[in-house]
């Protein structure tokens, strides 16, 4: 596949890495960047991430093959609305948001009859740094990209978006939007909330400085995700409110039971929780390592 023109809204880590990966694969003729900050767009052009800086959505969208929305999720609705009037019949739109039910709803509202041209997506990749400087041509190699197609999407259109991501080195998966949001509430959004809460709890204590002084590598890894952008995670939590509330409730029930076992001195009950968790964690780690090894050995 060769793409004539790809348009990227938001040329930071996620959008910029998509651009660099397509260029590295020699799969695209022209990449147009659109965004709220002209300085960021100019910087992305200097870095060779995009070829053209556009301040006109109409012009940018003309004859575009694929549009990727990789701006902060709170902007997705407004971007879709700005795209809608200029969206030609042969252009597909996808996004990179961490939640999907809300994006689907926003897309339906913004695109109306053109909804079939929007294929929602979520690349499972990231780094701690942001902005065009953080973009990497290899960010998506071996990483999962989850598409959450809707009934209105044509199979051929889904495949075109999937292929663009495959050219970036990604492994493609599909989930229903609600299922996607439930899965990521459990394995990503909940851990972020828990890590933020732990660090805030410790920071709020009168002897916080002494506590941080003795925090070591276990604390470092557990709380690494608490260094993430507060605005981004506020938006993700709100966008995935219902699934995340369910996960939080289940978790609070679980640790309240563990607290009861501890207070009762019930070592067997605690050990049962710890043992099941250890086994699951070690099994998961082995699966990940096997997958990484087989992908290094040239598998898919």
Residues 258-277 that bind a copy of itself (CB under 8 A): 258-259, 262-263, 265, 267, 270-271, 273-277
Edge-to-edge strand list for the sheet holding 144-147: 121-123, 144-147, 171-174
* Residue 100: C-alpha distances to residues 114, 133, 197, 256, 260 (Å): 18, 27, 25, 31, 37
Stretch that binds a copy of itself, among 39-47, 61-69, 112-120, 252-260 (CB under 8 A): 252-260
Minimum CB distance to a copy of itself smaller for 26 or for 220: 220
Which 88-147 positions form the footprint of a copy of itself (CB under 8 A)? 124-126, 144, 146
Angstrom distance (rounded) from CA 164 to CA 21: 10
DSSP-assigned letters across all residues of 225-247: GGGS-HHHHHHHHHHTHHHHHHH
Which 227-246 positions form the footprint of a copy of itself (CB under 8 A)? 227-231, 233-235, 237-238, 241, 244-245
Angstrom distance (rounded) from CA 292 to CA 44: 31
Q: How far is the CB of 253 from a copy of itself (least distance, A)?
A: 9
Q: How far is the CB of 156 from a copy of itself (least distance, A)?
A: 26
DSSP-assigned letters across all residues of 193-218: HHHHHHHHHHHTSTTHHHHHHH--HH
Q: How far apart are the first and last CA of the chain?
A: 18
Which 27-86 positions form the footprint of a copy of itself (CB under 8 A)? none
Stretch that binds a copy of itself, among 35-43, 133-141, 154-162, 226-234 (CB under 8 A): 226-234
Minimum CB distance to a copy of itself smaller for 48 or for 227: 227
Name the residue among 81, 35, 64 with its Cα closest to residue 164: 64
Annotate each residue in 168-207 with x if it binds a copy of itself (CB under 8 A) or - if it does not, as one string: -----x---------xx-xxx-xxxxxxxxxxxxxxxx-x
Q: How far is the CB of 150 from a copy of itself (least distance, A)?
A: 20
Among 55, 252, 290, 292, binds a copy of itself (CB under 8 A): 252
Q: How far is the CB of 5 from a copy of itself (least distance, A)?
A: 31
Name the residue among 121, 245, 229 with its Cα closest to residue 175: 121
Structure tokens given for 32? 């147009």
Which 143-162 positions form the footprint of a copy of itself (CB under 8 A)? 144, 146
Q: Does 215 bind a copy of itself (CB under 8 A)?
A: yes
Q: Which helix (H) or strand (E) holds 44?
A: helix 38-46
Minimum CB distance to a copy of itself smaller for 58 or for 255: 255
Among 255, 290, 292, 293, binds a copy of itself (CB under 8 A): 255
Q: Are 118 and 147 in contact (CB under 8 A)?
A: no
Q: How many residues bind a copy of itself (CB under 8 A)?
A: 88
**What residue ranges in 114-224 does DSSP mark as E strands?**
118-119, 121-123, 144-147, 171-174
């Amino acid at each position: 596949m060769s793409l004539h023109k790809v348009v990227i809204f938001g040329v930071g880590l996620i959008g910029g890495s998509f651009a660099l990966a397509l260029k590295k694969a020699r799969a695209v003729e022209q990449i147009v960047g659109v965004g709220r900050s002209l300085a960021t767009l100019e910087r992305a052009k200097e870095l060779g991430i995009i070829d053209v800086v556009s301040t006109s959505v109409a012009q940018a969208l003309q004859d575009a093959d694929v549009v990727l929305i990789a701006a902060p999720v709170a902007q997705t609705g407004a971007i879709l609305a700005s795209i809608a009037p200029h969206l030609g019949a042969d252009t597909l739109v996808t996004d990179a948001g961490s939640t999907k039910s809300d994006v689907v709803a926003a897309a339906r509202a913004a695109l109306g009859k053109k909804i079939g041209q929007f294929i929602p997506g979520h690349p499972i990749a990231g780094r701690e740094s942001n902005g065009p400087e953080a973009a990497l041509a290899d960010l998506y190699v071996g990483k999962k990209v989850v598409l959450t197609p809707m009934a209105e999407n044509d199979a051929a259109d889904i495949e075109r978006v999937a292929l663009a991501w495959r050219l970036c080195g990604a492994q493609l998966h599909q989930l229903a939007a609600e299922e996607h949001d439930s899965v990521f509430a459990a394995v990503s959004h909940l851990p972020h909330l828990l890590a933020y809460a732990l660090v805030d709890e410790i920071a709020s204590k009168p002897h916080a400085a002494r506590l941080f002084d003795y925090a070591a590598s276990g604390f470092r890894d557990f709380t690494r995700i608490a260094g993430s952008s507060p605005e981004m995670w506020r938006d993700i939590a709100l966008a995935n409110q219902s699934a995340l509330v369910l996960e939080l409730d289940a978790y609070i029930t679980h640790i309240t039971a563990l607290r009861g076992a501890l207070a009762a001195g019930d070592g067997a009950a605690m050990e049962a929780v710890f043992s099941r968790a250890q086994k699951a964690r070690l099994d998961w780690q082995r699966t990940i390592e096997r997958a990484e090894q087989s992908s290094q050995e040239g598998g898919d």
